[in-house]
A and B are shown apart, each in its own frame.
Chain A
Amino acid sequence: MSGAITWLGEWLFWPPFFQLVIAPGLVAALVIVIFILWFERKAAARVQMRVGPYNVSPRLGGALQLIADLVRYSFQEFIMPFTVDRAAFVAAPLLLLLASMLPMAVIPVSPVLPYSYAWPNIMKYNLLLALALATLSPIFTVVAGWASNNKFSLIGAARESFMVTAYELIFVLALLSTAAPVHSYDLVKIVEAQSTWKLMALLNPPAFLAAFIATLLSTSGFPFEIPESEHEVVAGPFTEYSGLMYGVEMGAAYIKRYAMSVLMALAFFSGWKPLDPQPGAGVWSGYVAPLVVVLVKATIIMAVMSFLRAVYGRYRLDQALHLAWKILLPLALLGYAIGLVYGYLGVL
């Protein structure tokens, strides 16, 4: 019996599993996404002179409304139309969720691991890997739109593929501009080079702005909710989906936003930095406390993104592409140039 518990514990806290499934992976992501969805609705309600979710749990400010919605989605019927490509139709949302989650596998949340395993810190290229994995998911949105065999889905998928060309390069360039000053693709070194107030976001604001807006573009957050724009194409690529699958697809965008926010919290906001775990620290001070600091920073970044929903209307596709190619790409290049200058002068 005790052997089984030990075996289970070893599996549970085996870093690849723990990172991807528990924290900062799926479980933590779900908790934070539910909080962010609640915050988004309440913030939009405050700005628009409404109350937002309230009646389900008046004392908690309607926080349980999101749980209620989740339960409702899980028990709704999943309707499969006759005309869809069945395998791709079912696989697309699940793969989308998985691909949105994948960057979590390589993102370090602590400089030291209190385990005998040296994973994922041994990866010297974890920033590059995280960026590469973060750029996987849009293809499954396009697959979902194609498999649905529906005009609205196709239009949404085409819009998504337009958007991919707009944001991917900007996000990668903006994140890489944080690697140049420290001469390393290792996120641990990038975080260690910053201090509590010497943040990469303050040293290199163009790159941070470009990364921030590229995240909004890639996760269809306002003002760039273009592929799923409800007033034009019913739900874009997700029109034919219902029940839990629809919830998964909607959640996948938020989970991708969460993964990108964690990446930005590390690269631009000095990650776990008020804390400074030394090698040999225990599980709590060496892993859990830095993890919590990183998650709080990522949540604040996500909350700011959610707040924008209340302020902005939606851009047209051409306006978003104009913004991306004519303003953000030069901005990202400028950020990269600043990063190169810092790297050449050895500021950090």
Chain B
Amino acid sequence: MPAVPSRKRVPSYGFLSSIKGNLEALTIGLKYFLNPNRSTLHYPREYIKLRPGYRGYIVLNKAKCIMCESCARICPASAMKMVRFQAPDPKRPGKMKLYKYPVINYQRCIFCGLCVDVCPTEALRHVPAHDVVYMNLAEMELDLEAFQQEPKSPAEEEGGIPVRYIFDSEKGLVKVRASEGGGGQ
């Protein structure tokens, strides 16, 4: 038996109900016009205050790193690589030792956070910042020094106002200053 496509009827409205619908639409529009709830983020003057657990940029603490390579192995985007170099061994004077440390390529990084999760000594951590600017693609491949420095949000450095978006039971999504509560944490 061939399938019979069901026909949907286009709803037709009567004269009075369409007048009512128009009036309702105008009332809602007027309500928002008189009492607007603007949620635009004026970005350089305001920025979203990110929570501490935010999976933003990644920073290496070189002193904690045990060179286990777990981060480079688990990285699904091959963004994390180990750099190798010979340096004098502090425990055995006069001898050289092979050091390996992770570096990151933000052209490839997808901010999945697996490297931070897998790190056995918490040498890698997230920073609550995501609006870092690089002048060219080559800058996005960090070297060991740059990977240890905490990136700063330019809006935060230029004295922007930290804000947060919270849900209000009446108005919906509302923008408030992060200092004024901001919905916990």
Chain A positions near chain B (C-beta within 8 angstroms) = 43, 45-51, 54, 307, 310-312, 327
Contacts and interface: CB of A to CB of B under 8 A. Distances in A.
A311 B24 CA distance: 10
A310 B30 CA distance: 10
B39 A49 contact: yes
A45 B28 CA distance: 14
Given A311-B25, A311-B26, A312-B25, A47 B39 contact: no
A47 B29 contact: yes
A310 B29 CA distance: 7
Given A311-B25, A312-B25, A49 B33 contact: no
A32 to B, nearest CB: 20
Contacts of A54: 42
B38 A47 contact: no
Interface in B2-48: 15, 25-26, 28-30, 32-33, 36-40, 42
A137 B25 CA distance: 32
Contact of A49 (B26, B36, B42): B36
B38 A311 contact: no
Nearest to A46: B36
A50 B38 contact: yes
A47 B26 contact: no
Nearest to B40: A51
Given A307-B33, A310-B33, A46 B25 contact: no
Contacts of A51: 38, 40, 42
Contacts, number: 34
A312 B21 CA distance: 11
Interface string B52-93: 000000000000000000000000000000000000000000
Contacts of B29: 47, 307, 310-311
A221 to B, nearest CB: 15
Contacts of A312: 25
Contact of A47 (B15, B32, B40, B42): B32
Nearest to A51: B40
Q: Which 10 A-B residue pairings sit nearest by Cβ, starting from the closest?
A: A311-B29, A46-B36, A47-B32, A51-B40, A49-B39, A47-B29, A311-B25, A46-B33, A47-B33, A50-B40
Nearest to A326: B15
Nearest to B15: A327
Contacts of A49: 32, 36-40
A51 B32 CA distance: 13
B36 A47 contact: yes
A54 to B, nearest CB: 8
Nearest to B34: A46
Contacts of B33: 43, 46-47, 307, 310
B80 to A, nearest CB: 39
Nearest to B37: A49
Contacts of B39: 49
18 contacts: A43-B33, A45-B38, A46-B33, A46-B36, A47-B32, A47-B36, A49-B32, A49-B36, A49-B37, A49-B39, A49-B40, A51-B38, A51-B40, A307-B29, A307-B33, A311-B26, A311-B28, A327-B15
A49 B29 CA distance: 11
Contacts of A43: 33
Given A307-B33, A310-B33, A46 B26 contact: no
Contacts of B30: 307
Contacts of A46: 32-33, 36, 38
A54 B38 CA distance: 13
A46 B30 CA distance: 10
Nearest to B171: A49
Contacts of A310: 29, 33
B44 to A, nearest CB: 10
Nearest to B19: A327
Contacts of A327: 15
Nearest to A311: B29
A48 B32 CA distance: 8
Contacts of B42: 51, 54
Contacts of A50: 38, 40
B147 to A, nearest CB: 36
A169 to B, nearest CB: 21
Contacts of B25: 311-312
Contacts of A45: 38
Nearest to B36: A46
